[in-house]
């Protein structure tokens, strides 16, 4: 079972689905996280750490409470252009996409690191 599969069963993910649709959010998360061989989870974690969100990322990987991020922080790290492209590609308002990604990305990283570290294949 993949990381995105496990998220589909989470209550937060189910709430987000009411806004974005079951088929769109996993694809968007996959693109942000570099699914399909474009860096993977390790790449997005590194990008977030380089963008000044290292404490938040460490909390998601660790076994304690996840420190949240805001849509604005995520958009700043990912870049406005990438967020705009994703929003346009999936016909999702930018503000809504940012909020859902800011909510779901910590969960995705948390689920991918159940032992307090990222898997080598991430």
Domain with 90, as residue range(s), is: 3-112
CATH number of domain containing 71:
1.10.10.690
State the DSSP H helix or E strand holding residue 95, giving kind and residue range, or none if neither: helix 94-112
**pLDDT, averaged across the chain:** 76
Q: 0.85 cut: is pTM over it?
A: no
pLDDT at 12 over 50: yes
pLDDT-derived band at 1 (thresholds 50, 70, 90) equals very low
Q: CA-to-CA distance for 49 and 61, rounded, in angstroms?
A: 12
* Residue pLDDT, tens place only, 21-55: 545 666 777 776 665 444 567 888 888 999 999 99
- Asked if residue 119 belongs to a domain, the reply is no
- Asked if residue 117 belongs to a domain, the reply is no
Q: Are 86 and 100 in contact (CB under 8 A)?
A: no
- Asked if residue 59 belongs to a domain, the reply is yes
Q: What percent of the chain has pLDDT over 70?
A: 66
Report how many domains make up the chain.
1
- Asked if residue 8 belongs to a domain, the reply is yes
């Amino acid at each position: 079972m993949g990381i995105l599969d496990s998220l589909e069963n989470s209550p937060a993910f189910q709430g987000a689905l009411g806004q974005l649709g079951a088929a769109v959010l996993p694809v968007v998360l996959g693109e942000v996280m570099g699914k399909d061989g474009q860096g993977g989870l390790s790449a997005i974690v590194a990008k977030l750490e380089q963008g000044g969100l290292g404490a938040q990322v460490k909390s998601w990987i660790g076994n304690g409470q996840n420190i949240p991020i805001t849509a604005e922080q995520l958009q700043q790290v990912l870049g406005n252009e990438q967020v705009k492209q994703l929003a346009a590609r999936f016909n999702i308002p930018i503000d809504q996409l940012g909020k859902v990604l800011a909510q779901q990305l910590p969960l995705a990283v948390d689920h991918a690191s159940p032992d307090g570290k990222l898997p080598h294949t991430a």
